[in-house]
Amino acid sequence: MRHQFSHRHENLEVVFLEHFGLAARLTGLTEHISAVKQLLIGSYFTMEYSFQSTALFNPSIVPHPDQSNIPEGATRFIMSLRATGEGHVSSSVFRTGVIQPDESLVMDEAPRFSARTRLAPDHQYSKAMFRRKLVEMSAFMDAADLVLARLEDTFTFVDLERAIQSFSDAGGEHADRSETIESMLYLARSNYQLKLGPEADVSHLVLFPQSDSESRGIEDVRLVRFVDDDTKVTYYGTYTAFDGIHTLPMLFETDDFKRIRIHTLNGACAINKGMALFPRRINGHYAMCSRIDGHRLFIMYSDMVYFWETAEPIAEPKYFWELRVIGNCGSPIETEDGWLLLTHGVGPMRQYAIGAMLFDRDNPAKMIGRLRHPLIMAPEDEREGYVPNVVYSCGAMRVGDRLYVPYGVADEKTRMASVSLRGLIDQIKSDGP
């Protein structure tokens, strides 16, 4: 095993020993086993998985938190990509690079190894928020409240397990006991925290499904660099969790891409795919672009980034290339002229195109204009692939007067386009709403 696989993975023996330990605990093994046999047994509970063997697509892009040691006028970036591997399970991977002062793009070499992320056992849950989500899930609250009464205002997963055990030991007539426990554990496991090793950086990071709600995929991360009113910077990523049947809107947040907190998005309007957070508050509120009816664009406001209760429609399909569906292509980009929102539209023959709209800075529900014709459509040499005739982006980035738009091609690979920001906005204004 060492000869065949040690050059393909870092710290492989550590992995084997960890997997042996897990198997030993599950089986109740207590007898002494030599270190060599532990490694061998651990290898039987280990397998390689190709997490990006099928496709690498649907990117988003944000400025990197570290802008040191690059030429003046350059911008280092982080790009998220949807990676699809064996079994058609999607995860999210990250690449870095630099946009040079001459507007050329230099991608950093992809690392040879990916880094293992570990579930952080100290993730804290808010009892009030946890209960609110249980109500939204239509859980049996009589039983759930008996469990919650055993918890402090904030608690960990271990605390929850103990409270559930205490509730179970207490007995009593609760016909909905097992379903209540299942709902509470499902919710807790859907909200978790990951830690990346101290030597790894964001390009080693793989967000791979960890919970039941995302067991079949983490889809289409929309990264945004969010600057709060107190100037604190947080990187958020909205994405879609898929369990093979249902989708669930999710949010991750991080300050440094070392510790990543995963949350369910909640509320009556936290539904459907393609939610994109504005990069700052609007009139004191968080703002989100969404497509809650699967057809039109909406704007939502909230005082809590995890809860979304109301939505207002702001755009619907208008032109031939978007008549079936429109959605956003990532978080809005603030300009002097207003909020620039890239969109995707689906037209005849399920042909995708990328367009753009402009909204008022103070009232993003007010449209200033939209492109009459697509900004990006698949040329003939990019039409073929896993899903033909598709171009799709999860977020663009402004650098000076250029807009850089990474986009997925045919649900298979990724390209980068750039356009004059001034020219694009002038065209949008000329086309009108």
Residue ranges covered by each domain of the chain: 2-44, 125-190, 209-431
The Cα-based distances of 112 to 7, 9, 66, 85 in angstroms read: 10, 9, 22, 17
| pLDDT above 70 (res 5) | yes
**Predicted pLDDT of residue 172:** 63
Could you tell me the pLDDT band of residue 2, with boundaries at 50, 70 and 90? confident
The pLDDT, as a whole number, for residue 10 is 87
How far is 129 from 137, CA to CA, in rounded Å?
12
Residue 101 phi/psi, 5-degree rounding, is -55, -25
Three-class SS of 110-123? CCCCCCCEEECCCC
d(CA 157, CA 301): 30
Whole-number pLDDT of residue 123: 86
pLDDT digit string, tens, across residues 241-262 = 999 999 999 999 999 999 999 9
Tens digit of pLDDT for each residue in 199-222? 899 999 999 999 999 999 999 999
In angstroms, the CA 142 to CA 151 distance is: 15
Share of the chain above pLDDT 70, in %: 99
Tokens of 46: 């280990």
> First CA to last CA across the chain, in angstroms?
63
Rounded to 5 degrees, φ, ψ at 353 are -145, 155
In the predicted structure, residue 175 carries a pLDDT above the cut 70: no
pLDDT of 80 strictly over 80: yes
Q: How many CB atoms lie within 10 A of CB 316?
A: 12
* Residue 302 vs residue 115, higher pLDDT: 302
Contact 302, 308 (CB under 8 A): yes
Distance CA 39, CA 305 (A): 45
pLDDT digit string, tens, across residues 265-282? 999 999 999 999 999 999
Domain 209-431 matching CATH 2.115.10.20: the answer reads yes
Work out the pLDDT band at 12, boundaries 50, 70, 90: very high
pLDDT tens digits for 376-394?
A: 999 999 999 999 999 999 9
Pair of tokens at residue 141: 């609250």
- For 409-433, the pLDDT digits (tens) are 999 999 999 999 999 999 999 999 9
Question: 154 pLDDT exceeds 80?
Answer: yes
pLDDT value, residue 1: 84
Over residues 234-244, mean pLDDT = 98
> What is the predicted pLDDT for the residue at 174?
66
Residue 96: strand pairing partners: 78
| Mean pLDDT score of the chain | 95
Question: Concatenated DSSP letters for 4-55?
Answer: HHGGGSTTHHHHHHHHHHHHHHHHT--S---HHHHHHHHHHT-----TTSSE
Average pLDDT of the segment spanning 30-37: 92
The whole-number pLDDT of residue 118 equals 83
Q: What is the mean pLDDT of residues 288-296?
A: 96
What's the pTM value of the predicted model, to 2 decimals?
0.93
Mean pLDDT along residues 361-371: 98
